[in-house]
Amino acid sequence: MQRGDGPVLNWNSPDSSIALAESWLRNSPADVPAAASRADLAERLNGILSQMLRSGQNLHHPHYIGHQVPASVPLAGLFDAVSSVTNQVMAVYEMGPWATAVEHALVRALCRKVGWDAEASTGLLTHGGSLANLTALLTARNVRLPGSWEDGAPSNAVLVTHPDAHYCVTRSAGILGLGSRQVVKVAIDPQRRMDPDNLDRVLTRLSGEGRQIMAVSACACGTPTGAFDPLEAIATVCERHQVWLHVDAAHGGGLMMSRKHRTKLAGIDRADSVVWDAHKMLFVPALCAAVLYRNREHRFETFQQNAPYLFDPSVPGMADIDSGMRTVECTKRAMGFGLWGLWSLFGEQIFEQMVDRVMDIAQRLYEFLNDQPDFQALHTPECNILAFRYVPQSLAQAADSVIDAFQRDVRTRLIQSGHFYIVQTTLDNRAALRVAVMNPMTTTDDLQELLAAIRDTGQQLNRQDNVAGDL
Protein backbone atom coordinates (compact mmCIF):
# COMPACT_ATOMS: atom_id res chain seq x y z
CA MET A 1 0.00 0.00 0.00
CA GLN A 2 2.78 2.44 0.85
CA ARG A 3 4.26 1.84 -2.61
CA GLY A 4 0.89 2.74 -4.12
CA ASP A 5 0.28 -0.72 -5.57
CA GLY A 6 -3.34 -1.66 -6.13
CA PRO A 7 -6.50 0.37 -5.57
CA VAL A 8 -7.09 2.89 -2.80
CA LEU A 9 -10.73 1.92 -2.32
CA ASN A 10 -11.83 -1.62 -3.15
CA TRP A 11 -15.19 -0.48 -4.47
CA ASN A 12 -18.20 -2.77 -4.33
CA SER A 13 -21.83 -1.83 -3.93
CA PRO A 14 -23.09 -1.96 -0.33
CA ASP A 15 -25.49 -4.81 -1.16
CA SER A 16 -22.76 -7.00 -2.66
CA SER A 17 -20.37 -6.33 0.24
CA ILE A 18 -23.04 -7.19 2.83
CA ALA A 19 -23.97 -10.34 0.91
CA LEU A 20 -20.31 -11.42 0.81
CA ALA A 21 -19.89 -10.82 4.55
CA GLU A 22 -23.06 -12.82 5.23
CA SER A 23 -21.76 -15.70 3.08
CA TRP A 24 -18.79 -16.13 5.40
CA LEU A 25 -21.18 -16.43 8.34
CA ARG A 26 -23.46 -18.90 6.54
CA ASN A 27 -20.53 -21.06 5.47
CA SER A 28 -18.83 -21.13 8.86
CA PRO A 29 -18.04 -24.57 10.32
CA ALA A 30 -20.87 -26.37 12.08
CA ASP A 31 -18.54 -27.44 14.89
CA VAL A 32 -15.34 -26.11 16.38
CA PRO A 33 -12.61 -27.84 14.32
CA ALA A 34 -10.85 -30.74 15.99
CA ALA A 35 -7.11 -30.85 16.43
CA ALA A 36 -6.78 -32.97 13.30
CA SER A 37 -8.21 -30.15 11.16
CA ARG A 38 -5.96 -27.34 12.33
CA ALA A 39 -4.59 -26.96 8.82
CA ASP A 40 -8.12 -26.35 7.53
CA LEU A 41 -8.66 -23.80 10.28
CA ALA A 42 -5.41 -22.02 9.38
CA GLU A 43 -6.46 -21.92 5.74
CA ARG A 44 -9.85 -20.49 6.68
CA LEU A 45 -8.23 -17.89 8.93
CA ASN A 46 -5.99 -16.86 6.05
CA GLY A 47 -9.02 -16.53 3.82
CA ILE A 48 -10.88 -14.36 6.33
CA LEU A 49 -7.91 -12.03 6.82
CA SER A 50 -7.34 -11.79 3.07
CA GLN A 51 -11.01 -10.94 2.56
CA MET A 52 -10.75 -8.13 5.12
CA LEU A 53 -7.64 -6.66 3.54
CA ARG A 54 -8.82 -6.76 -0.07
CA SER A 55 -12.32 -5.42 0.60
CA GLY A 56 -11.79 -2.19 2.50
CA GLN A 57 -10.33 1.28 2.34
CA ASN A 58 -6.53 1.48 2.09
CA LEU A 59 -5.54 4.58 4.05
CA HIS A 60 -1.81 3.83 3.76
CA HIS A 61 -2.00 4.20 -0.02
CA PRO A 62 -0.45 7.58 -0.95
CA HIS A 63 -3.51 8.29 -3.14
CA TYR A 64 -5.79 8.31 -0.10
CA ILE A 65 -6.40 12.04 0.49
CA GLY A 66 -10.03 11.96 1.52
CA HIS A 67 -11.56 12.15 4.96
CA GLN A 68 -9.76 13.34 8.09
CA VAL A 69 -8.71 9.82 8.99
CA PRO A 70 -4.97 9.20 8.95
CA ALA A 71 -2.70 6.50 7.67
CA SER A 72 -1.92 5.44 11.22
CA VAL A 73 1.62 4.58 12.23
CA PRO A 74 1.63 0.75 12.10
CA LEU A 75 3.48 0.45 15.41
CA ALA A 76 0.65 2.31 17.10
CA GLY A 77 -1.63 -0.50 15.94
CA LEU A 78 0.71 -2.99 17.59
CA PHE A 79 0.44 -1.17 20.92
CA ASP A 80 -3.35 -1.11 20.48
CA ALA A 81 -3.31 -4.84 19.74
CA VAL A 82 -1.76 -5.51 23.15
CA SER A 83 -4.72 -3.73 24.70
CA SER A 84 -7.23 -5.65 22.58
CA VAL A 85 -5.74 -9.11 23.08
CA THR A 86 -5.42 -8.68 26.85
CA ASN A 87 -8.80 -6.85 26.93
CA GLN A 88 -7.66 -4.00 29.13
CA VAL A 89 -10.72 -2.03 30.21
CA MET A 90 -11.28 1.04 32.31
CA ALA A 91 -13.81 2.50 34.74
CA VAL A 92 -12.01 1.70 37.98
CA TYR A 93 -8.26 1.61 38.45
CA GLU A 94 -8.05 -1.99 39.61
CA MET A 95 -9.64 -3.24 36.36
CA GLY A 96 -7.14 -1.45 34.15
CA PRO A 97 -4.29 -0.17 36.29
CA TRP A 98 -1.76 0.39 33.52
CA ALA A 99 -4.36 1.68 31.07
CA THR A 100 -5.46 4.20 33.70
CA ALA A 101 -1.89 5.24 34.45
CA VAL A 102 -1.18 5.73 30.73
CA GLU A 103 -4.31 7.86 30.28
CA HIS A 104 -3.41 10.13 33.21
CA ALA A 105 0.14 10.54 31.89
CA LEU A 106 -1.13 11.41 28.39
CA VAL A 107 -3.69 13.89 29.70
CA ARG A 108 -0.98 15.71 31.66
CA ALA A 109 1.29 15.79 28.60
CA LEU A 110 -1.50 17.08 26.33
CA CYS A 111 -2.53 19.75 28.85
CA ARG A 112 1.06 20.98 28.91
CA LYS A 113 1.05 21.20 25.09
CA VAL A 114 -2.09 23.35 25.29
CA GLY A 115 -0.14 25.66 27.59
CA TRP A 116 -1.74 24.78 30.93
CA ASP A 117 -0.25 23.83 34.27
CA ALA A 118 -0.60 20.03 34.33
CA GLU A 119 -1.37 20.07 38.05
CA ALA A 120 -4.11 22.70 37.76
CA SER A 121 -5.79 21.22 34.65
CA THR A 122 -7.28 17.82 33.94
CA GLY A 123 -9.03 15.71 31.32
CA LEU A 124 -9.77 12.26 29.97
CA LEU A 125 -9.73 10.15 26.81
CA THR A 126 -12.91 9.07 25.08
CA HIS A 127 -14.19 7.45 21.89
CA GLY A 128 -14.01 10.12 19.21
CA GLY A 129 -14.52 13.83 18.72
CA SER A 130 -18.32 13.75 18.77
CA LEU A 131 -18.44 12.10 22.17
CA ALA A 132 -15.60 14.33 23.34
CA ASN A 133 -17.47 17.50 22.34
CA LEU A 134 -20.64 16.20 23.98
CA THR A 135 -18.74 15.48 27.20
CA ALA A 136 -17.07 18.90 27.31
CA LEU A 137 -20.30 20.74 26.54
CA LEU A 138 -22.13 18.70 29.18
CA THR A 139 -19.55 19.93 31.68
CA ALA A 140 -20.04 23.50 30.47
CA ARG A 141 -23.82 23.15 30.84
CA ASN A 142 -23.57 21.89 34.42
CA VAL A 143 -21.07 24.60 35.42
CA ARG A 144 -22.76 27.54 33.68
CA LEU A 145 -26.38 26.43 34.19
CA PRO A 146 -26.51 25.05 37.76
CA GLY A 147 -29.30 22.59 38.41
CA SER A 148 -29.44 21.38 34.80
CA TRP A 149 -28.36 17.87 35.72
CA GLU A 150 -31.29 17.42 38.08
CA ASP A 151 -33.96 19.64 36.51
CA GLY A 152 -32.99 19.86 32.84
CA ALA A 153 -31.66 22.82 30.91
CA PRO A 154 -33.54 26.12 31.31
CA SER A 155 -35.68 27.14 28.36
CA ASN A 156 -33.76 30.40 27.84
CA ALA A 157 -30.34 28.70 27.48
CA VAL A 158 -28.37 28.98 24.23
CA LEU A 159 -25.16 27.59 22.74
CA VAL A 160 -23.16 29.88 20.44
CA THR A 161 -21.05 28.65 17.53
CA HIS A 162 -20.76 29.34 13.78
CA PRO A 163 -21.92 27.73 10.50
CA ASP A 164 -18.72 25.74 9.88
CA ALA A 165 -18.72 24.05 13.29
CA HIS A 166 -18.89 20.26 13.16
CA TYR A 167 -22.44 18.92 13.15
CA CYS A 168 -21.81 17.19 16.48
CA VAL A 169 -21.99 20.58 18.23
CA THR A 170 -25.62 21.05 17.19
CA ARG A 171 -26.28 17.38 17.90
CA SER A 172 -24.91 17.91 21.42
CA ALA A 173 -27.38 20.75 21.98
CA GLY A 174 -30.21 18.35 21.21
CA ILE A 175 -28.84 15.65 23.50
CA LEU A 176 -28.18 18.12 26.34
CA GLY A 177 -31.77 19.31 26.38
CA LEU A 178 -31.19 22.78 24.93
CA GLY A 179 -32.62 21.86 21.56
CA SER A 180 -30.99 22.36 18.19
CA ARG A 181 -32.99 25.56 17.62
CA GLN A 182 -31.20 27.11 20.59
CA VAL A 183 -27.85 27.01 18.76
CA VAL A 184 -27.02 30.57 17.74
CA LYS A 185 -24.60 30.80 14.82
CA VAL A 186 -22.26 33.75 14.60
CA ALA A 187 -21.27 35.11 11.20
CA ILE A 188 -17.95 34.03 9.71
CA ASP A 189 -15.43 36.24 7.91
CA PRO A 190 -14.26 35.79 4.27
CA GLN A 191 -11.71 33.20 5.50
CA ARG A 192 -14.58 31.21 7.09
CA ARG A 193 -13.47 32.01 10.65
CA MET A 194 -15.67 33.18 13.50
CA ASP A 195 -15.86 36.98 13.50
CA PRO A 196 -15.00 38.22 17.03
CA ASP A 197 -16.76 41.56 16.54
CA ASN A 198 -19.93 39.80 15.48
CA LEU A 199 -19.55 37.41 18.42
CA ASP A 200 -19.37 40.38 20.78
CA ARG A 201 -22.56 41.85 19.31
CA VAL A 202 -24.37 38.51 19.47
CA LEU A 203 -23.43 37.93 23.11
CA THR A 204 -24.50 41.47 24.00
CA ARG A 205 -27.85 40.94 22.28
CA LEU A 206 -28.44 37.57 23.91
CA SER A 207 -27.67 38.94 27.37
CA GLY A 208 -30.00 41.86 26.75
CA GLU A 209 -32.76 39.40 25.86
CA GLY A 210 -32.25 37.59 29.16
CA ARG A 211 -30.81 34.48 27.53
CA GLN A 212 -28.40 32.27 29.48
CA ILE A 213 -25.31 31.56 27.39
CA MET A 214 -24.11 28.04 28.08
CA ALA A 215 -20.91 28.29 26.04
CA VAL A 216 -19.23 29.59 22.92
CA SER A 217 -17.84 26.77 20.77
CA ALA A 218 -14.95 27.80 18.49
CA CYS A 219 -13.13 25.76 15.83
CA ALA A 220 -9.47 24.92 15.48
CA CYS A 221 -9.92 24.07 12.74
CA GLY A 222 -13.28 24.05 10.94
CA THR A 223 -14.13 20.91 8.99
CA PRO A 224 -15.05 22.35 5.53
CA THR A 225 -11.78 24.21 4.77
CA GLY A 226 -9.56 23.81 7.83
CA ALA A 227 -9.91 27.45 8.94
CA PHE A 228 -8.72 28.35 12.44
CA ASP A 229 -10.89 30.74 14.43
CA PRO A 230 -8.97 33.71 15.95
CA LEU A 231 -8.86 32.27 19.45
CA GLU A 232 -7.07 35.18 21.16
CA ALA A 233 -9.74 37.67 20.11
CA ILE A 234 -12.56 35.20 20.81
CA ALA A 235 -11.17 34.47 24.28
CA THR A 236 -11.08 38.21 25.05
CA VAL A 237 -14.75 38.54 24.06
CA CYS A 238 -15.75 35.50 26.13
CA GLU A 239 -13.86 36.78 29.18
CA ARG A 240 -15.58 40.16 28.86
CA HIS A 241 -18.98 38.46 28.85
CA GLN A 242 -17.94 35.82 31.42
CA VAL A 243 -18.85 33.00 29.04
CA TRP A 244 -17.39 29.48 28.91
CA LEU A 245 -15.11 29.10 25.87
CA HIS A 246 -14.95 25.63 24.33
CA VAL A 247 -12.51 24.93 21.48
CA ASP A 248 -13.11 22.01 19.14
CA ALA A 249 -9.51 21.25 18.10
CA ALA A 250 -10.31 17.66 17.19
CA HIS A 251 -8.44 18.00 13.90
CA GLY A 252 -6.17 21.01 14.31
CA GLY A 253 -4.96 20.16 17.81
CA GLY A 254 -2.11 18.21 16.27
CA LEU A 255 -0.52 21.50 15.21
CA MET A 256 0.33 22.11 18.87
CA MET A 257 3.08 19.54 18.33
CA SER A 258 4.65 21.70 15.61
CA ARG A 259 6.90 24.64 16.43
CA LYS A 260 6.27 25.91 12.90
CA HIS A 261 2.47 25.79 12.96
CA ARG A 262 1.28 25.99 16.59
CA THR A 263 0.87 29.77 16.31
CA LYS A 264 -2.36 29.05 14.41
CA LEU A 265 -3.81 28.02 17.78
CA ALA A 266 -2.61 31.09 19.70
CA GLY A 267 -5.05 31.72 22.53
CA ILE A 268 -6.17 28.12 22.99
CA ASP A 269 -4.66 28.18 26.48
CA ARG A 270 -7.39 30.68 27.43
CA ALA A 271 -10.19 28.18 26.67
CA ASP A 272 -12.13 26.48 29.45
CA SER A 273 -12.31 23.19 27.56
CA VAL A 274 -10.53 21.72 24.54
CA VAL A 275 -11.18 18.63 22.42
CA TRP A 276 -8.19 17.07 20.62
CA ASP A 277 -8.32 13.87 18.54
CA ALA A 278 -5.14 11.80 18.50
CA HIS A 279 -6.69 9.64 15.74
CA LYS A 280 -6.45 12.56 13.35
CA MET A 281 -3.26 14.62 13.28
CA LEU A 282 -1.34 12.47 15.78
CA PHE A 283 -1.69 9.52 13.39
CA VAL A 284 -2.84 6.77 15.75
CA PRO A 285 -5.67 4.30 15.07
CA ALA A 286 -9.23 5.30 15.85
CA LEU A 287 -10.54 6.08 18.34
CA CYS A 288 -8.55 8.19 20.76
CA ALA A 289 -9.92 11.64 21.63
CA ALA A 290 -8.93 13.89 24.54
CA VAL A 291 -11.29 16.12 26.53
CA LEU A 292 -9.20 18.68 28.41
CA TYR A 293 -10.25 21.19 31.09
CA ARG A 294 -8.22 24.22 32.15
CA ASN A 295 -9.69 24.14 35.67
CA ARG A 296 -9.15 20.90 37.58
CA GLU A 297 -12.11 21.74 39.81
CA HIS A 298 -14.45 20.92 36.92
CA ARG A 299 -13.43 17.25 36.75
CA PHE A 300 -16.56 15.95 38.53
CA GLU A 301 -19.06 18.47 37.14
CA THR A 302 -19.88 16.35 34.07
CA PHE A 303 -21.88 13.77 36.04
CA GLN A 304 -23.39 13.84 39.49
CA GLN A 305 -24.08 10.20 40.21
CA ASN A 306 -22.97 7.38 42.50
CA ALA A 307 -22.39 3.77 41.48
CA PRO A 308 -21.67 1.83 44.69
CA TYR A 309 -21.11 -1.46 42.86
CA LEU A 310 -18.11 0.14 41.13
CA PHE A 311 -16.64 2.65 43.51
CA ASP A 312 -15.26 1.63 46.86
CA PRO A 313 -16.18 4.12 49.62
CA SER A 314 -13.28 2.84 51.73
CA VAL A 315 -10.81 4.46 49.32
CA PRO A 316 -12.48 7.76 48.34
CA GLY A 317 -9.19 9.12 46.99
CA MET A 318 -9.45 6.70 44.05
CA ALA A 319 -12.27 8.78 42.56
CA ASP A 320 -9.59 11.08 41.19
CA ILE A 321 -7.96 8.12 39.44
CA ASP A 322 -10.96 6.09 38.26
CA SER A 323 -12.38 7.19 34.92
CA GLY A 324 -15.98 6.05 35.38
CA MET A 325 -17.09 9.16 37.27
CA ARG A 326 -15.97 11.46 34.44
CA THR A 327 -16.92 9.74 31.18
CA VAL A 328 -20.08 8.70 29.37
CA GLU A 329 -18.66 5.18 29.16
CA CYS A 330 -18.49 2.74 32.03
CA THR A 331 -16.46 0.02 30.35
CA LYS A 332 -13.92 1.88 28.23
CA ARG A 333 -11.16 0.37 26.14
CA ALA A 334 -7.56 1.33 26.83
CA MET A 335 -7.48 3.75 23.92
CA GLY A 336 -4.30 5.56 24.95
CA PHE A 337 -1.82 2.75 24.31
CA GLY A 338 -1.13 3.65 20.66
CA LEU A 339 -0.39 7.30 21.39
CA TRP A 340 1.55 6.56 24.57
CA GLY A 341 3.60 3.84 22.85
CA LEU A 342 4.62 6.05 19.90
CA TRP A 343 5.45 8.99 22.16
CA SER A 344 7.50 6.76 24.46
CA LEU A 345 9.34 5.06 21.58
CA PHE A 346 10.16 8.01 19.33
CA GLY A 347 9.53 11.14 21.38
CA GLU A 348 7.12 13.91 20.43
CA GLN A 349 9.22 14.93 17.42
CA ILE A 350 7.61 12.12 15.39
CA PHE A 351 4.31 13.98 15.59
CA GLU A 352 5.91 17.29 14.65
CA GLN A 353 7.56 15.74 11.59
CA MET A 354 4.35 14.13 10.34
CA VAL A 355 2.29 17.28 10.95
CA ASP A 356 4.81 19.48 9.15
CA ARG A 357 4.95 17.01 6.27
CA VAL A 358 1.21 16.85 5.54
CA MET A 359 0.88 20.62 5.98
CA ASP A 360 3.62 21.15 3.40
CA ILE A 361 2.04 18.73 0.92
CA ALA A 362 -1.32 20.52 1.18
CA GLN A 363 0.41 23.83 0.47
CA ARG A 364 2.08 22.35 -2.60
CA LEU A 365 -1.29 21.17 -3.90
CA TYR A 366 -2.61 24.70 -3.50
CA GLU A 367 0.30 25.99 -5.58
CA PHE A 368 -0.32 23.37 -8.28
CA LEU A 369 -4.02 24.30 -8.48
CA ASN A 370 -3.18 27.98 -8.90
CA ASP A 371 -0.94 27.10 -11.85
CA GLN A 372 -3.75 25.31 -13.72
CA PRO A 373 -6.44 27.37 -15.51
CA ASP A 374 -9.04 24.60 -15.29
CA PHE A 375 -8.73 24.23 -11.49
CA GLN A 376 -9.93 26.71 -8.87
CA ALA A 377 -8.65 26.61 -5.29
CA LEU A 378 -11.50 27.95 -3.16
CA HIS A 379 -9.37 29.18 -0.25
CA THR A 380 -5.81 29.48 0.98
CA PRO A 381 -5.17 26.39 3.12
CA GLU A 382 -4.57 27.05 6.82
CA CYS A 383 -4.25 23.34 7.55
CA ASN A 384 -3.96 20.15 5.50
CA ILE A 385 -7.50 20.53 4.15
CA LEU A 386 -8.17 22.06 0.74
CA ALA A 387 -11.38 22.53 -1.25
CA PHE A 388 -11.30 23.21 -4.99
CA ARG A 389 -13.23 22.86 -8.24
CA TYR A 390 -12.40 21.43 -11.64
CA VAL A 391 -14.02 23.44 -14.44
CA PRO A 392 -12.78 22.53 -17.94
CA GLN A 393 -13.08 25.09 -20.73
CA SER A 394 -16.08 23.21 -22.14
CA LEU A 395 -18.07 24.02 -18.98
CA ALA A 396 -16.79 27.55 -18.36
CA GLN A 397 -20.13 29.08 -19.42
CA ALA A 398 -22.35 26.31 -18.06
CA ALA A 399 -25.05 26.87 -15.46
CA ASP A 400 -24.06 26.56 -11.82
CA SER A 401 -26.20 23.46 -11.41
CA VAL A 402 -24.40 21.74 -14.28
CA ILE A 403 -20.94 22.54 -12.86
CA ASP A 404 -22.05 21.38 -9.40
CA ALA A 405 -23.30 18.05 -10.76
CA PHE A 406 -20.06 17.67 -12.73
CA GLN A 407 -17.95 17.97 -9.54
CA ARG A 408 -19.94 15.21 -7.85
CA ASP A 409 -19.91 12.96 -10.91
CA VAL A 410 -16.15 13.32 -11.30
CA ARG A 411 -15.60 12.49 -7.66
CA THR A 412 -17.89 9.42 -7.75
CA ARG A 413 -16.26 8.04 -10.90
CA LEU A 414 -12.77 8.72 -9.53
CA ILE A 415 -13.21 6.90 -6.23
CA GLN A 416 -14.98 3.94 -7.82
CA SER A 417 -12.01 3.51 -10.12
CA GLY A 418 -9.80 2.94 -7.08
CA HIS A 419 -7.20 5.34 -8.45
CA PHE A 420 -7.69 8.07 -5.82
CA TYR A 421 -9.89 8.71 -2.86
CA ILE A 422 -11.11 12.28 -2.30
CA VAL A 423 -14.37 13.64 -0.88
CA GLN A 424 -16.87 16.33 -1.75
CA THR A 425 -18.32 19.27 0.15
CA THR A 426 -20.56 22.29 -0.35
CA LEU A 427 -19.23 25.83 0.13
CA ASP A 428 -21.53 28.82 -0.25
CA ASN A 429 -24.14 26.50 -1.77
CA ARG A 430 -21.74 25.31 -4.48
CA ALA A 431 -20.39 21.77 -4.89
CA ALA A 432 -16.64 21.33 -4.49
CA LEU A 433 -13.98 18.66 -4.35
CA ARG A 434 -12.14 18.39 -1.05
CA VAL A 435 -8.95 16.70 0.09
CA ALA A 436 -7.36 16.17 3.48
CA VAL A 437 -3.71 15.16 3.25
CA MET A 438 -3.53 12.53 6.01
CA ASN A 439 -0.68 10.33 4.77
CA PRO A 440 2.91 11.59 5.19
CA MET A 441 3.89 9.20 2.37
CA THR A 442 1.90 11.20 -0.20
CA THR A 443 4.28 13.06 -2.54
CA THR A 444 4.09 15.96 -4.97
CA ASP A 445 4.16 13.40 -7.80
CA ASP A 446 0.97 11.90 -6.35
CA LEU A 447 -0.61 15.36 -6.39
CA GLN A 448 0.26 15.90 -10.05
CA GLU A 449 -1.17 12.47 -10.79
CA LEU A 450 -4.36 13.46 -8.95
CA LEU A 451 -4.92 16.49 -11.18
CA ALA A 452 -4.29 14.37 -14.27
CA ALA A 453 -6.73 11.70 -13.03
CA ILE A 454 -9.44 14.31 -12.40
CA ARG A 455 -8.94 15.68 -15.92
CA ASP A 456 -9.10 12.18 -17.37
CA THR A 457 -12.27 11.38 -15.48
CA GLY A 458 -13.86 14.67 -16.52
CA GLN A 459 -13.05 14.06 -20.17
CA GLN A 460 -14.59 10.59 -20.01
CA LEU A 461 -17.77 12.05 -18.56
CA ASN A 462 -17.90 14.77 -21.23
CA ARG A 463 -17.47 12.19 -24.02
CA GLN A 464 -20.29 10.09 -22.58
CA ASP A 465 -22.54 13.13 -22.33
CA ASN A 466 -21.79 14.08 -25.95
CA VAL A 467 -22.55 10.56 -27.16
CA ALA A 468 -25.80 10.52 -25.18
CA GLY A 469 -26.71 13.89 -26.70
CA ASP A 470 -26.11 12.60 -30.21
CA LEU A 471 -28.32 9.59 -29.55
Residue 421 lies in a domain: yes
Do residues 194 and 297 share a domain?
Answer: yes
Where does a domain end: 295, 315, 347?
Answer: 347
Do residues 301 and 399 share a domain?
Answer: no
Do residues 323 and 366 share a domain?
Answer: no
Task: Give me the pLDDT at residue 320, please.
Answer: 79
Do residues 110 and 199 share a domain?
Answer: yes
Do residues 308 and 378 share a domain?
Answer: no
Give yes or no for residue 324 having a pLDDT over 90. no
What confidence tens digit (pLDDT) does each residue in 185-243 have? Answer: 999 999 999 999 999 999 999 999 999 999 999 999 999 999 999 999 999 999 999 99
**Domain containing residue 115: CATH number:** 3.40.640.10
Do residues 84 and 214 share a domain?
Answer: yes
Amino acid at the residue 364: R
Do residues 374 and 252 share a domain?
Answer: no
Residue 71 lies in a domain: no
Give yes or no for residue 465 having a pLDDT over 70. no
**Angstrom distance (rounded) from CA 298 to CA 289:** 18
Give yes or no for residue 468 having a pLDDT over 60. no
User: Is residue 305 very low, low, confident or very high in pLDDT (cuts 50, 70, 90)?
Assistant: low
Under a CB-based contact definition with an 8 Å cutoff, are residues 451 and 368 in contact?
yes
| DSSP-derived 3-state class of residue 167 | helix
User: Is residue 469 very low, low, confident or very high in pLDDT (cuts 50, 70, 90)?
Assistant: low
What confidence tens digit (pLDDT) does each residue in 77-127 have? Answer: 999 999 999 998 988 888 899 999 999 999 999 999 999 999 999 999 999
Do residues 143 and 238 share a domain?
Answer: yes
Where does a domain end: 291, 318, 347?
Answer: 347
Where does a domain end: 347, 374, 400?
Answer: 347
Under a CB-based contact definition with an 8 Å cutoff, are residues 395 and 236 in contact?
no
Q: Which domain covers residue 246, as residue numbers?
A: 78-347
Work out how many domains the chain is built from and give that number: 2
234 HSE (CA, 13 A, CB side): 32
User: Is residue 470 very low, low, confident or very high in pLDDT (cuts 50, 70, 90)?
Assistant: very low
Residue 87 lies in a domain: yes
pTM above 0.85, yes or no: yes
Under a CB-based contact definition with an 8 Å cutoff, are residues 246 and 218 in contact?
yes
Do residues 272 and 400 share a domain?
Answer: no
Query: How many angstroms from the chain centroid is the CA of residue 397?
Result: 37
430's CB contacts (< 8 A; 6+ apart) are: 389, 400, 403, 404
The closest of 214, 128, 109 to 168, measured between CA atoms, is 128
Under a CB-based contact definition with an 8 Å cutoff, are residues 374 and 392 in contact?
yes
Do residues 317 and 389 share a domain?
Answer: no
Do residues 134 and 282 share a domain?
Answer: yes
What confidence tens digit (pLDDT) does each residue in 38-53 have? Answer: 788 889 999 999 999 9
